[in-house]
Amino acid sequence: MPAPIRLRELIRTIRTARTQAEEREMIQKECAAIRSSFREEDNTYRCRNVAKLLYMHMLGYPAHFGQLECLKLIASQKFTDKRIGYLGAMLLLDERQDVHLLMTNCIKNDLNHSTQYVQGLALCTLGCMGSSEMCRDLAGEVEKLLKTSNSYLRKKAALCAVHVIRKVPELMEMFLPATKNLLNEKNHGVLHTSVVLLTEMCERSPDMLAHFRKLVPQLVRILKNLIMSGYSPEHDVSGISDPFLQVRILRLLRILGRNDDDSSEAMNDILAQVATNTETSKNVGNAILYETVLTIMDIKSESGLRVLAINILGRFLLNNDKNIRYVALTSLLKTVQTDHNAVQRHRSTIVDCLKDLDVSIKRRAMELSFALVNGNNVRGMMKELLYFLDSCEPEFKADCASGIFLASEKYAPSKRWHIDTIMRVLTMAGSYVRDDAVPSLIQLITNSVEMHTYTVQRLYKAILGDYSQQPLVQVASWCIGEYGDLLVSGQCEEEPPIQVTEDEVLDILESILISNMSASVTRGYTLTAIMKLSTRFTCNVNRVRKIVSVYSSSIDVELQQRAVEYNTLFKKYDHMRPALLERMPVMEKVTINGLTEIVQSNGETESAVLETKSPPSGLQPLSQANDLLDLLGGTDITPVIPTAPTSKPDSTGGELLDLLGDLNLTCSPVSAPVPQIAQPPFLLDGLPSQPLFSDIAAGIPSITAYNKNGLKIDFTFERSNTNPSVTVITIQASNSTELDMTDFVFQAAVPKTFQLQLLSPSSGVIPAFNSGTITQVIKVLNPQKQQLRMRIKLTYNHKGSAIQDLAEVSNFPPQSWQ
Amino acid sequence: FRNFKIIYRRYAGLYFCICVDVTDNNLAYLEAIHNFVEVLNEYFHNVCELDLVFNFYKVYTVVDEMFLAGEIRETSQTKVLKQLLMLQSLE
C-alpha cells in the first residue's frame, strides 16, 4: 500500500478541482484510501490520515468513520498524534455520540501527565465538548489543577471549570474553595479567567451572589489599578490597558450590584471615573464605555450617574461608526421607559438618525421616536415622522403608519390636526395601512361632529385625484355616503368651499365601482354609499336606482347580495328608505382590538358585514322588533354542538346589525331565529314574536330529565302538526344552590336513527336560588317513530371548580314520539 | 438570529464571525476578533487565506489558546505567541 499523500498535496489537489463533481470524486477516492489504511492499523501514517479526514469534514463531507481512529491517536504517546487526535475528537464528536465516553479514561490519564502541554490539550478538549458524565468524573482533576502553580494550566483549568458548571450546576460548590485566592493573581490571564468563573457562578446561583458580594471592594481596586497604571505593553490594545479584563470586571460588578444598595454605592465612584477617563476615539474605548453604561443602568445607581450614562449614549449617536450608533439606539430603547426625560434631550439626534441610510438604524430610530412622542413635541415629531413615512422602505410603512395612528390618537392637540394627519398618512402610504385601521378611522370621524363638512370635502378632493389606495377610498366613500348633503351644500368654515354637484359625486363613486383597481371590499363600501345618497340627494334617485340594479347580477356574491336588497328597498319598501338610511349616530369609543372580536363571536353565517353599528339605543328608531338581523334570513339552525354563549362583549355593546337587512326582506319561510348575544330584552322580544312553529300541539306532559347537585333540568315538549316526526324539546335549567353556575354547556346525543338539532341557549349562567333559568331548544327528528332516548352531558363551573356530568334520559312520555 | 447574535468583521476577502449571546457586549467582541487576527498575523508572518487553509490544525491551536469554553482566555499577544512557538518545537 503506497504511502498516503501528505496533507498539503491533498489540499492542493482538492483546490484545483473545477467542478463540484470533480471534487467529490477526488474526495471519495481519498476516503477509500484512508479507510483501507485504517483497516490495516498503520500507526505511522495514521495522524496524517486523520488530518486529511478533518479537512474533508470541514468541507462538509461525512467523516464519522474516523472517530475511533481519533481515540487511538489520543492514546498514543507522541505529541503530534495526541494533538490531532484531540482536535479530531473536538470536531467530530459531540455529546450525542457514544464514543466520547471512551475518551474519559484517556483524558484522565492525560490530565495527570507530566508535560503541561499535554495536560493543556486534555483540558481543552474537556472544556469544549465534555458531556455531563465526563464532567462529573473529571471535575476533581480539574479542581486540583486549579491550584497548581503553573499559570498556563490555571487559566485553562478555570475555563474548564466554567464549562463544567454550565453542564452540571451541582458541582459548583466543589470549586468554591479554589476561587478564594483567584482574585489575588498578578497574572492578567489568570485574573481574566477567574473573573469569568466568578461571573458564571454568580449568574447561576443567588447564594454565590451573596457570598461574592464581599469581593466588590477588591474588584474595584483591581479596576482602579488597571486604569491608573501606566502603559503595559503586554495587555495593551491601542493605548488602553487590557480592555477585556476591564469589560469583564464591569460585567461582574453589574451582576453583583443588581438589586443591592451597598455594592452599588461602592461602585459609583469607580464607574464615574471609568466613564470620564476613557477616551472615545477608538472602538476599544467605546466598548468599555458601553459596558459601563449597561452596568450603570442595571445597578441601583444615583440619578446623576444615570444622566451621565445617557449622555454617553447620546455621544455615541453622533459617532460616525454605524455599529456604535446601532448599539446606542438599542440601549436607549431599553432605557426609555425608566429615564424618559433624560432621553428626551437627545430627541433631535434620534430624529436625525431617521435619515440614515442603514436600514436597521432607521428601524431602531423609528421605534425610539414613537416611544418618545408626548404631548409637547407631538407636532414637531409628527412632521418628521410623516416625512420619514414618505421616504422609507415599504416594509416599514405599515409599522410606521400604525405607529402614527396610535400616537396621534393619544396626543392630538386638536381634532382638525388629527384629521389632517390621518389624511396625509392615507394619501402617502394608503395601500400599506392595516385593514383594522379603516373602521377605527371611520369611528373617529363620526365622533368629531363639527368636522364633518371639512373632512368630507378634503376626502372628496383626495379621491378626485386618484383612487388606487384602497383604505383611502373606503374611508372616503363611506364619508361621502354619510355626509353627501353637506358636501353638496357647499358650506365650510375652515376651508374655501368647493362647488360640487350631485352628479359629480355620483360620477366619482360610479367610476370607483367600475375601476379595476378597486378591491371587492371597496366596492361594497361604495355601493352602500351610493345607496345612502339616494335619500340625501334629492334629484338623482333614478340614477342611483339604475346603478344599483346593474349590480344585482354581478359575479361577486357580496355585491350582488347588496344590490338585490337595495333594489327591493326601492321597490317594496320605499317608505322605509329614509328611515333606514338615516345618518349614523355617534359611536362609542372603541379600542382598536375590540372590533375584530365582534365579528367572530356572533357565530352566524352571514357574510362579513364591514361597518360597525351603533349600540342598541340607536336601533329603536331604525327597525321594528327585528333585532335578529340576517342578510339572508334563511340561515340554517346552528349545528348539533351548540355554541357556548359568549360573554357579552363589553367594549362596544354593538351587535353586528345591518342597517338595511332584516327578515322581512327575504321571502323564505320564517325559520327559527338565530339567537344572538345581545342583552336579554332582545332575545325575549325575538322569541315570542317569531314562534317556532305556526301550530303547536299542547298537552304533552313535561319531565324532569336531570336533577343532581342542585341543578335541575326540565324538558317540555311540543309536537308540530306540519311535520309529525319532529319533536321540539325546550329545556330549562335551574339552580337551587347558593352560588351561580357559570359557563353552562348542554350537549346531547341520540341513537343513530334520530337526528338532533340544538339551538343556542339563552345564556351561560344559571343564577342561584332558582332565580332564573337557562332555556335551550332541541329539535329531534324521529322518522321511524322509535322510543326516544337521549344521553346528555353537562359541563359547568360551580363553586370555583369545573364539573362535568353524563346522564341518560329515558323517561320520555309516549306522546312525545309516537 | 435564533437566540444569539453574530458579530463579524471583514478583513480583505475574509469574514471572521463570532456568535454570542444577546446580552453580551458587541463592541468588546469586535476587539476580540481583531486581537485574534493580529495573533494569526504574527504567527504565520503576514497571514493570507491560503495559510489558514493549509494549516488549519494550527489555526485551531491558536483558537484554543485564546478562547476556551466559549469565553476569552488569553488576551496578551506576546504570551500566546510564546506558547505557540513552544508547541511548534515539540513537533
Of the two residues A662 and A321, the one the predictor is more confident about is A321
- pLDDT value of residue A672: 38
Instruction: Write out pLDDT tens, residues A203-260.
Output: 777 666 666 666 666 777 777 666 665 445 455 555 556 667 777 777 777 777 666 6
Using alpha carbons only, how large is chain A's radius of gyration in Å?
40
Q: Does B69 touch chain A (CB under 8 A)?
A: yes
- pLDDT value of residue A263: 64
- Here the cell at position A395 is 416594509
Name residues whose C-beta falls within 8 Å of residue A445's C-beta, 6 or more positions apart in sequence: A419, A451, A452, A455, A475, A479
Indicate the pairing of strand B14-21 with strand B4-11. antiparallel
Q: Give the model's confidence band at A564: pLDDT under 50 very low, under 70 low, under 90 confident, else very high.
A: confident
**By the 8 A CB rule, do A465 and A430 touch?**
no
**By the 8 A CB rule, do A756 and A779 touch?**
yes
Residue A753 DSSP one-character state: T
Cβ separation A284–B31 shorter than 8 A: yes
Provide, as residue numbers in chain A, all residues whose Cβ is less than 8 Å from the Cβ of B30: 283, 287, 323
- pTM exceeds 0.80, yes or no: no
- pLDDT value of residue A257: 67
- pLDDT value of residue A795: 78
Q: What angle do CA A634, A649, A799 make, to 5 degrees?
A: 110
Provide, as residue numbers in chain A, all residues whose Cβ is less than 8 Å from the Cβ of B60: 87, 90
pLDDT for residue A600 is more than 60: no
- pLDDT value of residue A780: 77
Instruction: Write out pLDDT tens, residues A124-180.
Output: 666 666 666 666 667 777 777 666 666 667 777 777 777 777 766 666 666 666 666
**Phi then psi dihedrals of residue A812, to 5 deg:** -75, 135
Cβ separation B25–A287 shorter than 8 A: yes
pLDDT for residue A399 is more than 50: yes
- pLDDT value of residue A289: 74
- pLDDT value of residue A818: 61
State the DSSP H helix or E strand holding residue A65, giving kind and residue range, or none if neither. Answer: none
pLDDT for residue A113 is more than 70: no
A418/A451 Cα distance (integer angstroms): 11
Alpha carbon A56 to its chain's center: 43
From A88, which residue of chain B is nearest by alpha-carbon distance? B57
- pLDDT value of residue B12: 75
Provide, as residue numbers in chain B, all residues whose Cβ is less than 8 Å from the Cβ of A294: 25
Q: Give the model's confidence band at A449: pLDDT under 50 very low, under 70 low, under 90 confident, else very high.
A: low
Residue A782 DSSP one-character state: -
Q: Is A672 helix (H, G, I), strand (E, B) or coil?
A: coil
Mutation target among A77, A124, A330 for the B interface, most CBs of B within 10 A: A124
Q: Does A6 touch chain B (CB under 8 A)?
A: no
From B84, which residue of chain A is nearest by alpha-carbon distance? A117
pLDDT for residue A649 is more than 60: no
pLDDT for residue A368 is more than 60: yes
From B9, which residue of chain A is nearest by alpha-carbon distance? A323
pLDDT for residue A643 is more than 70: no
Instruction: Write out pLDDT tens, residues A716-750.
Output: 777 766 666 677 777 777 777 766 777 777 777 77
pLDDT for residue A463 is more than 70: no
Of the two residues A629 and A372, the one the predictor is more confident about is A372
Instruction: Write out pLDDT tens, residues A34-89.
Output: 777 777 666 666 667 777 777 777 777 776 676 667 777 666 666 666 677 777 77
Q: Does A54 touch chain B (CB under 8 A)?
A: yes
pLDDT for residue A403 is more than 50: yes
- pLDDT value of residue A620: 36
- pLDDT value of residue A3: 56
Q: Give the model's confidence band at A633: pLDDT under 50 very low, under 70 low, under 90 confident, else very high.
A: very low
Give the residues of chain B that fall short of pLDDT 70: 1-2, 23-24, 65, 68-91
Q: Tell me the average pLDDT across A350-367.
A: 72
Cβ separation B69–A159 shorter than 8 A: yes
Cβ separation A87–B71 shorter than 8 A: no
Q: Give the model's confidence band at A411: pLDDT under 50 very low, under 70 low, under 90 confident, else very high.
A: low
Cβ separation B73–A189 shorter than 8 A: yes
- A297-332 burial by CB neighbour count: b if 16+ within 10 A, else e? bbbebeeebbebbbebbbbbbebeeebbbbbbbebb
Q: Does B22 touch chain A (CB under 8 A)?
A: no
CA atoms within 13 A on the CB side of A484: 28
- pLDDT value of residue A499: 57
Indicate the pairing of strand A711-720 with strand A741-749. unpaired
- pLDDT value of residue A798: 73
Q: Tell me the average pLDDT across A663-672.
A: 37
Alpha-helical runs (H) found in A242-282: 243-257, 261-277
- pLDDT value of residue A435: 64
- Here the cell at position B74 is 488569553
Provide, as residue numbers in chain A, all residues whose Cβ is less than 8 Å from the Cβ of B22: none
Q: What percent of chain A has pLDDT over 70?
A: 38
Q: What is the mean pLDDT of chain A?
A: 65
Provide, as residue numbers in chain A, all residues whose Cβ is less than 8 Å from the Cβ of B27: 283, 286-287, 290, 323-324, 327
Instruction: Write out pLDDT tens, residues A677-690.
Output: 333 443 333 333 33
Q: Does B28 touch chain A (CB under 8 A)?
A: yes
Mutation target among A196, A289, A364 for the B interface, most CBs of B within 10 A: A196
Q: Does A333 touch chain B (CB under 8 A)?
A: no
pLDDT for residue A696 is more than 60: no
Q: Does B71 touch chain A (CB under 8 A)?
A: yes
- pLDDT value of residue A51: 73
